[in-house]
Amino acid sequence: MAHRRCLHSALLHATALISLKKSPSLSIVKALTSKPNPGITTSNLEPSWFIPWSYIRHFSSRKSDDSENEAEMEESSDGEGESDEMASDMVRDYSPEEKEAEAAAIGYKVVGPLQRSDRVFKDYEPVFAVVQIGSHQFKVSNGDSIFTERLKFCEVNDKLILNKVLLLGSPTQTIIGRPILPDAAVHAVVEEHALDAKVIIFKKKRRKNYRRTKGHRQELTKLRITAIQGIEKPEIKTDGKPLKAAVKKPEKIAATA
């Protein structure tokens, strides 16, 4: 029963896509036959629940990635049916590495590995960078914490590398990017995923008996900036905090040497 429904919906979408399709993509389909096969075996677990979702998913996938998803869709038309639809849905939900990389580039960050043993938090250096994260720009320096929109695909204690650096500045030097600086990188660590304070949205039209109350909490991510690369840092001798200084000085010397 469920299989029939899946096939039916698959055929509907497939016919729509075939009309848009051009011939060279068929070769891509054949090349990619091997790829979603591992996905199929895992996705057969939950066929029925994914059917209504598949409608929405396919429309969005059409806009985002042409070759990958549409190739998978075409495969479904060839006769593998429900399982390939499920594969594209699973791909969207659990995002394999390629998807993560793309979405990360759009929202603009690169996820590095988790870390436990490294101590990355250095003292304050007077260097700052202007960094863009998903249409917000921040003037950032070592040891700052920043609230950004909730970033997908990162968990707490993840290292991030922010690529879009627009400006690097220090007391002695400024480097201006047009528009981006290619060799600059800003390292950050995800501190927490948090909700904003509650905001009450209250709408009222007077004398018309209309009143609506709604609460909203925005999802945020807190990032802590650990390092800025791409500019020469002026050396400064730190006198305060003898414990940390004793540890950090050999690190600094190693970094500058």
Partner 1 sequence: GDYSRLTRTITQQRIRALVLAHRDRDRDRKERDFCRLWITRINAVIRRVGISYSYSKLIHNLYKKQLLLNRKIFAQIAISNKNCIYMIS
Is residue 185 involved in binding partner 1 (CB under 8 A)? no
* Angle at 34 (CA atoms; ends 29, 40), nearest 5 degrees: 100
How far from 61 is each of 39, 89, 186, CA to CA, in Å? 17, 10, 31
Task: Write the CB contacts of 207 (distance below 8 Å, at least 6 apart in sequence).
Answer: none
Least CB distance to partner 1 at residue 165 (A): 10
Least CB distance to partner 1 at residue 70 (A): 32
Is residue 27 involved in binding partner 1 (CB under 8 A)? no
Buried b (16+ CB within 10 A) or exposed e, 83-115: bbbbbbbbbbeebeeebbeebbeebbbebeeee
For partner 1, which is the closer residue by CB, 111 or 129?
Answer: 129
Is residue 176 involved in binding partner 1 (CB under 8 A)? yes
Task: Write the CB contacts of 20 (distance below 8 Å, at least 6 apart in sequence).
Answer: none
Least CB distance to partner 1 at residue 163 (A): 13
Is residue 207 involved in binding partner 1 (CB under 8 A)? no
For partner 1, which is the closer residue by CB, 87 or 140?
Answer: 140
* DSSP code per residue over 171-199: SS-EEE-SS--TT-EEEEEEEEEEEPPPE
Among 51, 73, 87, 138, binds partner 1 (CB under 8 A): 138
Cα–Cα distance for residue pair 185/217, rounded to 1 Å: 31
Least CB distance to partner 1 at residue 202 (A): 4
Is residue 202 involved in binding partner 1 (CB under 8 A)? yes
Task: Count CA atoms within 13 Å of residue 221 on its CB side.
Answer: 22
For partner 1, which is the closer residue by CB, 57 or 164?
Answer: 164
For partner 1, which is the closer residue by CB, 106 or 201?
Answer: 201
**What string marks each residue from 97 to 136 as x (binds partner 1 by CB under 8 A) or -?**
-------------------------------x-x-x----
Verify cis geometry, omega within 30 degrees of 0, for the bond prior to 113. Answer: no
Among 24, 79, 113, 179, binds partner 1 (CB under 8 A): 179
Is residue 218 involved in binding partner 1 (CB under 8 A)? no
Neighbours of 23 (CB within 10 A): 6
Helix (H) or strand (E) holding 84: helix 82-94
Among 2, 20, 120, 180, binds partner 1 (CB under 8 A): 180
Least CB distance to partner 1 at residue 180 (A): 8
Which residues are near partner 1 by CB under 8 A? 128, 130, 132, 137-139, 164, 166-167, 169, 171, 174, 176-180, 199-204, 213
